């Protein structure tokens, strides 16, 4: 038994928090460095190629994109941070509107922070996670592109990253490995989403 993701559809794009949909659908957001595989992950979860726009060129997703699943909950594709070709101001940081969304969206039920499993711990990811922890925002770490490295090499990077996380957070973060190419991590992520939906307190409207 797994959660169904039939009826996936693009809803809208927002350039700021105020423009986000005025609904109370539970949302699950995907954030991480540019090119880490956020949009690919949304397509993998929805089993619909081309739902979210994917590109080998970093900086493809520039707005907050909302996808509705079965009319009942939403996957949210966020712009990546660390997009090198962005304006100098943006480089290495992420849009204030993304920070606003992560901190102030009442119906955001889960945030998945994607990290490239091929790399040793990167300062940009750790800085972002330090910000998340500082804001008291919960998250689940997803190490992406696990198909690209042999199991051991990826495990080594994951271990090193979790080691670096100890300097940021006292709690051991929840994490999993994924491959959008192979569908790896899909049952785990959908399982986490299903649990969050089951626990959700009833909200009016
Ligand atoms: P931005 O929107 O630019 O922030 O990037 P993004 O995080 O949405 O990344 P996107 O999904 O567009 O993927 C970036 C590149 O990585 C594309 O060329 C994808 O095909 C590739 N990619 C994403 N996930 C995987 C994966 O699991 N395995 C492999 N081999 N390639 C992947
Ligand atoms: Mg994208």
At the top level of CATH, the class of 9-199 is alpha beta
List, chain by chain if needed, residues with CB within 6 Å of any ligand 1 atom. 34-40, 54-56, 58-61, 79-80, 144-145, 147-148, 179-181
Write the DSSP symbol of residue 170.
S
pTM for this one? 0.94
Give nearest CA residue, ligand 1 atom 17: 56
Rounded-to-integer distance, Cα 102 and Cα 17, Å: 9
Compute CA 10 distance to the chain's CA centroid, rounded to the nearest angstrom.
17
The CA 154 to ligand 2 mean position distance, Å, reads 22
Q: What pLDDT, on the 0 to 100 scale, is given for residue 90?
A: 46
d(CA 13, CA 184): 27
Of 38, 40, 50, the residue with max ligand 1 atoms within 8 A of its CB, to mutate for a pocket test, comes to 40
Instruction: State both tokens at 61.
Output: 């997703």
The minimum-distance atom of ligand 1 relative to the CA of 184 is: 27
pLDDT tens, 50-79?
A: 999 998 888 877 899 999 999 999 999 999
- Tens-binned pLDDT, residue by residue, of the chain (205 aa): 578 888 899 999 999 999 999 999 999 999 999 999 999 999 999 999 999 999 888 887 789 999 999 999 999 999 988 876 545 454 446 788 999 999 999 999 999 999 999 999 999 999 999 999 999 999 999 999 999 998 799 999 999 999 999 999 999 999 999 999 999 999 999 999 999 999 976 655 4
Query: For atom 16 of ligand 1, which residue has the closest CA?
Result: 37
> How many whole angstroms from 39 Cα to the centroid of ligand 1?
7
The token pair at 157 is 């990077």
**Phi (first) and psi of residue 203, to 5 degrees:** -110, 140
Nearest residue to 68 via CA among 116, 138, 8, 128: 8
Model confidence pLDDT, tens digit, residues 176-194: 999 999 999 999 999 999 9
């Amino acid at each position: 038994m797994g959660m169904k993701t039939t009826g996936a559809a693009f809803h809208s794009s927002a350039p700021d928090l105020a423009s986000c949909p005025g609904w109370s659908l539970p949302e699950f957001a995907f954030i991480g460095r540019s090119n880490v595989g956020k949009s690919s992950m949304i397509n993998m979860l929805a089993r619909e190629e081309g739902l979210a726009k994917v590109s080998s060129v970093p900086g493809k997703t520039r707005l907050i994109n909302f996808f509705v699943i079965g009319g009942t909950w939403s996957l949210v594709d966020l712009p990546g941070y660390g997009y090198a070709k962005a304006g100098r101001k943006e480089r290495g940081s992420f849009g204030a509107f993304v920070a606003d969304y992560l901190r102030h969206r009442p119906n955001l039920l889960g945030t998945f922070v994607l990290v490239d499993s091929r790399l040793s711990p990167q300062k940009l990811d750790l800085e972002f996670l330090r910000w998340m922890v500082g804001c008291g925002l919960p998250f689940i770490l997803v190490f992406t592109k696990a198909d690209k490295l042999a199991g051991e090499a990826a495990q080594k990077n994951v271990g090193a990253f979790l080691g670096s996380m100890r300097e940021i957070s006292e709690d051991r973060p929840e994490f999993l490995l994924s491959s959008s190419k192979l569908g790896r991590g899909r049952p785990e992520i959908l399982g986490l989403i299903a649990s969050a939906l089951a626990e959700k307190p009833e909200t009016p409207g």
